[in-house]
Amino acid sequence: MKKEKVLVTGGAGFIGSNLTEELLNKGYHVIVVDDLSTGSMDNLKAFSTNPDLKFLCFSINDLKSLRTACQEVVYVFHQAALPSVPRSVSDPIATNHANINGTLNVLIAARDAGVKKVVYASSSSVYGDTPTLPKVETMPPCPLSPYAASKIAGEYYCTAFTASYGLPTASLRYFNVYGPRQAADSAYSAVIPRFITAIKNGKPPEIFGDGNQTRDFTFVKDVVNANILAATSSATGAFNIGTGTRISLNELANTIIQMAGKASITPVYSETRAGDVAHSLADITQAQNEFGYNALYDLRQGLQATIDKFDAYNEGVSGR
């Protein structure tokens, strides 16, 4: 039987590569589209020889190439974006071009190819800093950064394409995703890879603000599972993808310090960054009810898997 063909934009990125790997494991033929502006071929190395993987290097703003790539595709998993709140604050035009124009191109190509469904990677940042917790999908969006604004714009385009053209779409609002393959060597890196890298190298983790801000950290394998469940269901609309639990950055730093056996290290503190929210927590009831999503990894399990991969990678580098 011919394998179903799926497309992952941003498939050489952190989340996209983890999603690509699981789709291959599930027997799909996977087309990855990535211009490698933030992704890396290293993320695909472990399964690069799989005959069911096809890599195409171009920007999602290349509509002609996207149209070709979408032919005979059943599901599109749209992960490609310029990530990071700080990056968007420093360069809102690039964020707009990649995240809004790019998403529109993906939707047009999917519509014209008769794709069965598009699953769009949105973000919990669309809620802004409203004090009500947990965040529920019925809350009005309140984006505080160009990145957040670009993500809610993408959601609205998905909704519009479902209403106007009958293209089923699901927008997944990710809550602070972490795990293996997440970059730690950039000014825009997320907090967990930055903390792990600093602590494992005997350096103090840097916390922006007082560290009392809280986050709902979600392991990447749970996000991957949510994407596949959403694609293969009839659910459309916006869905929170988190764990329903939260931890402060102070507690997070101390947990990683303890797990890494580096008790002598203490965090250092810097000024709060523009666009950062104080507290974040997902209500995942809607995703549970609509497509059976549940977070299968608690924070310690996810952190341990991430630390183990960090250690294995560094052992491999030192042994070359």
Q: Has 293 been annotated as catalytic?
A: no
Whose tokens are 């992960």? That residue is 79
Of 28, 75, 147, 293, which one is the catalytic site residue?
147
Residue 162 to residue 284: CA distance in whole angstroms: 23
Q: Where are the alpha helices (DSSP H) in 201-273?
A: 220-231, 249-259
Q: How many CB atoms lie within 10 A of CB 292?
A: 13
Peptide bond into 134 cis (omega under 30): yes
Q: Is-contact 79 103, C-beta < 8 A?
A: no
Q: Is-contact 88 123, C-beta < 8 A?
A: no
CA dihedral sign of residues 125, 131, 137, 140:
negative
Phi–psi pair at 193, nearest 5 degrees = -65, -35
* Nearest residue to 166 (alpha-carbon basis) of 229, 120, 112: 112
Residues noted as catalytic: 147
